[in-house]
Amino acid sequence: MSTPVNQVEIKISKQALIFVLGFISMLMPLSIDMYLPSMPTIAHDFNVTDSAVQLTISCYLLGFSFGQLLFGPITDSYGRRNVLIIGLIIFTCAALSCGIAININQLITARFFHGIAAAATTIIINALMKDIFRDRDEFSKMMSFVMLISNVAPLLAPIIGGFILNWFNWKANFYTLGIIALLCLGLVIAFIPETLHKIKRAKFSLVRILSNFITLFRHRQVLTYMMIGAFSGAGLFSFLSLGPFVYMNLHGVASINFGYYFAVNIIVMVFMNTLNSRFVKHIGSIKMMQFGLTVQFIMAVGLMLVTLFNLGFVYLVACIAGYIGCMSIIAGNGMAVILDFYPHIAGTASSLAGTIRFAVAGAIGILLSMFATSNTVTTVTDNITEWLMVGSMVLCNFMAVALFLSVRNNKRKLE
């Protein structure tokens, strides 16, 4: 049986709650994608190399990974609302610090704390939603609606960032992020209650936290589902690392048009989330996850065929969009299964899953970037970069599918 929303004192309707949480979840992708058009300008203003500016993304992701480990256990001990408020305050301060940075080192440092604060919103939204929607399939359905809203961010962020840069300067991107975070803070204070009652909170203890992490690691099915999400997500990092080179250098896409091709991936992702929200209550989280992995597998095979037989750029874009579009349906349903095992430590479980996901995906992305840099193509007809990207995406999906089959063949069924 699911726990109705009205068992927790929510001051707004279920639909408004989903909108507020979806709006807050937009902060993470906005803080990555919105200033991408400004990166060359930042390098020029600070008189540094492009690789130095790219560290602002790497350190952000590093902070995001660390923040998940930090805020997950804290929210299980001190509740959701207050920790979310603190995270939004830190996010606002970090965004403003980025805007007033006078050199690249200050900007990199501010971005690290920016990532830590962004982790609070992601972790706490997962845990808060699990407090309200205890049934696994209902949780997955509601999270699909949250993801539908948050997926608007990567679709519009580069476009918004480009206009801000044109009208003002690159610093205005971070001031805008600070204003959005303040708006989110106001919404939380006004409408979001505490969903984790004091009687259900675990006393903060490093020994207990380590024990919980060990418990999660030792649970074969939970760890396997975490790794499925990690390898499926790593496919996106493979595309982000090498996709711009493949699209622009190999296939001649103008840099100003790259964002539109990237938007195709987000549109497919929104469509897949819509399917998930419509059918997950009827067929269950695990079967919807299996559906997502199956579609992604078909797209992976399609990518191999397109690259092997040089079938054309349109088919490459279509297969990549289909592949990336399945990731949220895989990750969302996987998280629903994981939190169904450990609802009493939802924050800790969510944080560990997120940390593993970003650690695996980030490592693969960095390795691909380093390998591609050391093997620079000499002509636009040399498709070694495309093969690196496609090969990595295919391998990541095959690993995710193999892990899913292994856990599904286990005698301890989850349904």
Does residue 379 register a pLDDT over 70? no
Higher-pLDDT residue of 393 and 155 is 393
Express each pLDDT in 326-335 by its tens digit: 887 888 888 8
Does residue 255 register a pLDDT over 70? no
Q: Tell me the percentage of the chain whose pLDDT exceeds 90.
A: 18
The listed range with the strongest mean pLDDT (88-102, 150-164, 260-274) is 88-102
Which positions ≥6 away from 249 have C-beta within 8 Å? 377, 380, 385
Instruction: Looking at 79-205, list the stretches that DSSP marks H as alpha helix, in order from N- to C-terminal side.
Output: 81-100, 104-132, 136-150, 152-167, 171-191
Per-residue pLDDT, 91: 93
Distance, in Å, from the CA atom of 300 to the CA atom of 211, rounded to the nearest integer, reads 38
Where b means 16+ CB within 10 Å and e means fewer, 174-189 reads bbbbbebbbebbebbe
Does residue 369 register a pLDDT over 70? no
Where residue 312 falls (left for φ over 0; alpha for ψ -120 to 50; beta otherwise) is left
Q: Tell me the percentage of the chain whose pLDDT exceeds 70.
A: 83
Which domains, ranges and CATH numbers included, belong to the chain? 7-204 (1.20.1250.20), 205-410 (1.20.1250.20)
Per-residue pLDDT, 327: 83
Predicted TM-score of the model (pTM): 0.69
250's tokens? 């190999």
Per-residue pLDDT, 253: 73
Does residue 53 register a pLDDT over 50? yes
Per-residue pLDDT, 98: 92
If residue 390 lies in a helix (H) or strand (E), which one and from where to where? helix 384-408
Does residue 415 register a pLDDT over 90? no
Per-residue pLDDT, 89: 94
- pLDDT band at residue 235 using 50, 70 and 90 as cut-offs: confident
Which positions ≥6 away from 245 have C-beta within 8 Å? 372, 385
Per-residue pLDDT, 25: 84
Q: What is the DSSP letter of 256?
A: G
Higher-pLDDT residue of 91 and 132 is 91
- pLDDT band at residue 409 using 50, 70 and 90 as cut-offs: low
Distance, in Å, from the CA atom of 92 to the CA atom of 114, rounded to the nearest integer, reads 8
Does residue 362 register a pLDDT over 70? no
- Whether residue 327 contacts residue 232, with contact meaning beta carbons closer than 8 Å, is answered with yes
Per-residue pLDDT, 180: 92
- The C-alpha angle with vertex 82 and arms to 77 and 85, in degrees rounded to 5, equals 135
Q: Say which range, 95-104, 212-221, 288-297, 405-414, has the weakest mean pLDDT.
A: 405-414
Distance, in Å, from the CA atom of 126 to the CA atom of 119, rounded to the nearest integer, reads 11
Mean pLDDT, range 112-121, rounded to an integer? 88
Q: Say which range, 162-171, 281-290, 346-355, has the weakest mean pLDDT.
A: 346-355
Distance, in Å, from the CA atom of 303 to the CA atom of 374, rounded to the nearest integer, reads 24
Per-residue pLDDT, 414: 42
Does residue 347 register a pLDDT over 60? yes
Query: What mean pLDDT is reported for the chain?
Result: 79
Per-residue pLDDT, 183: 92
- The C-alpha angle with vertex 198 and arms to 193 and 203, in degrees rounded to 5, equals 130
Distance, in Å, from the CA atom of 74 to the CA atom of 83, rounded to the nearest integer, reads 8
Does residue 49 register a pLDDT over 90? no
- pLDDT band at residue 2 using 50, 70 and 90 as cut-offs: very low
